[in-house]
Amino acid sequence: MSGKTKTAFVTGASRGIGATIARRLAADGFFVGIGYRTGADRAEAVLAHIRAEGGDGVAVEVDVTSTESVKQAFASFTEKSGGLDVLVANAGVAHGQMAALITDEDMERLWQTNLAGALRTARAAIRPMLRGGAGRIVFLGSVVGLSGNAGQALYAATKAGLVGAAKSLARELAPRGILVNVVAPGLIRDG
């Protein structure tokens, strides 16, 4: 990352961990993209907080389950920001259900959001990072993806998948100056 304004895009940033990450990045001098699927008012509130603290950014609607939405969101963000230095792929859904009761709809929703969604956003982030000569991609995993948890086989599988994806992407992208990591928080209190 050069002497220009640093830029970061955070998915799922209208509340919870994502909002906290967006606020912290802004406090550290990043121009932040506050990615949200629903809750435009919450995303705008995060942006207002960032601006009140002297930072800057933009709220960007993005549905990580849609390739077209991801493409549009990243094009919009990089046009406004001038590039992309950091992606925090935080968007995700939790689901606790005994394995015998998991529906195909549950599986599709979690795969598309938690795993495929993270990979879609990483794919969109790579080109602007390559143009910039460096970058950071951070996937938000979970300790459940590392250790498992009764009643969370589906959720754990999607979060474990992020670990494998990050390891492969790190090997592919590190020679080009892009570092890839997974952060695996435990249970947190929202709010």
117-145 confidence digits (pLDDT tens): 999 999 999 999 999 999 999 999 999 99
Given the residues 21, 141, 155, 180, the one annotated as active site: 155
CA distance 20 to 152: 25
47-58 confidence digits (pLDDT tens)? 999 999 999 999
Reduced to 3 states (helix: H, G, I; strand: E, B; else coil), residue 178 is strand
CA distance 49 to 60: 16
Containing 181, the helix (H) or strand (E) segment is: strand 178-183
How many helices (H) does the chain have, and how many strands (E)? 7, 6
DSSP 93-141: ------GGG--HHHHHHHIIIIIHHHHHHHHHHHHHHHHHT-EEEEEE-
Active-site residue flag, 155: yes
**pLDDT-above-70 percentage for the chain:** 97
Task: Note the pLDDT of residue 69.
Answer: 98
For 32, 122, 144, 153, the CA distances from 100, given in Å and listed in that order, are: 41, 32, 19, 10
pLDDT category of residue 115 using cuts at 50, 70 and 90: very high
Containing 35, the helix (H) or strand (E) segment is: strand 31-36
Q: Are 21 and 10 a contacting pair, CB within 8 Å?
A: yes
- Domains of the chain and CATH, by start: 7-183 (3.40.50.720)
144-182 confidence digits (pLDDT tens)? 999 999 999 999 999 999 999 999 999 999 999 999 999
